[in-house]
Amino acid sequence: MSRDGEKKIAVAVLVSGGGTNLQAILDAEARGELPHAEVKVVVSSRADAYALKRAEAAGVKTVVAERKKCASQEEFEDIIEDAVESVGAKIIVLAGFMSILSERFTSRYPERIVNVHPSLIPKYCGKGFYGLKVHEAVLAAGEKVTGATVHYVNEIPDGGRIIFQQEVEVKEGDTPETLQRRVMEEAEWKLLPRAVELTAERIAAE
């Protein structure tokens, strides 16, 4: 129950890899920083994603939806939607989820799908900019400042309304890996739980 006695808003988290952003949300929830939200299901696009172990350790339901095993994008998205609906989730969080979702899917959840992107949108975003590729591009361009953006998801990759942004310094001698870690620690892991709570609080008040 949330602080005002209302039922918490159920959250579905979509993952593909290690699940560090998922862990940031689970840790924030454990610290009591998500009074209006509760992670109820984690859906992974890979059966071997370590994020599934993180979910299981937290007692959260897990579902695997592998695009390559589905006959179509629609079938893939239907598995995800079934998982979301099975727990009554009102918020979907893309936490290192490496599959693009179609407009058919995103339009069903307007301003309820939250994504974190490791740059200051509109820089270094859109098709082809993901993971270490973003940080490689930032370093190649000689940027002194980068950061992370949390935004709502629509049919345009990285094109939805921005919720929060946080700048992060690019330091002398940074590699894509060291920069990625600093952006996670100083921006992504802080902004994403805040955005989940902000969205849950808005939905709870509707």
Helix (H) / strand (E) containing 201: helix 189-205
Q: Which CATH number fits domain 9-205: 3.40.50.170, 3.40.50.1580, 3.50.50.60, 3.90.1650.10?
A: 3.40.50.170
Taking 50 as the pLDDT cut, the residues of the chain under it are 1-4
What is the 8-class DSSP label of residue 7? P
The torsion region of residue 59 among left (phi > 0), alpha (psi -120 to 50) and beta comes to left
Residue 141 makes CB contacts below 8 A (sequence gap 6+) with none
3-state SS, residue 162: strand
User: d(Cα 150, Cα 105) in Å, to the nearest integer?
Assistant: 19
pLDDT for residue 1: 43
Q: Which residue has the tokens 């921005």?
A: 162
Is 135 in the active site?
Answer: no
pLDDT for residue 163: 98
pLDDT for residue 5: 52
Return the number of other C-beta atoms located less than 10 Å from residue 109's C-beta.
Answer: 20
User: d(Cα 20, Cα 184) in Å, to the nearest integer?
Assistant: 9
pLDDT for residue 141: 98
Cross-strand pairs, 39: 11
Q: Read off the pTM.
A: 0.94
Domain boundaries, the chain: 9-205
pLDDT for residue 188: 98
Name the catalytic one among 36, 117, 135, 151.
117
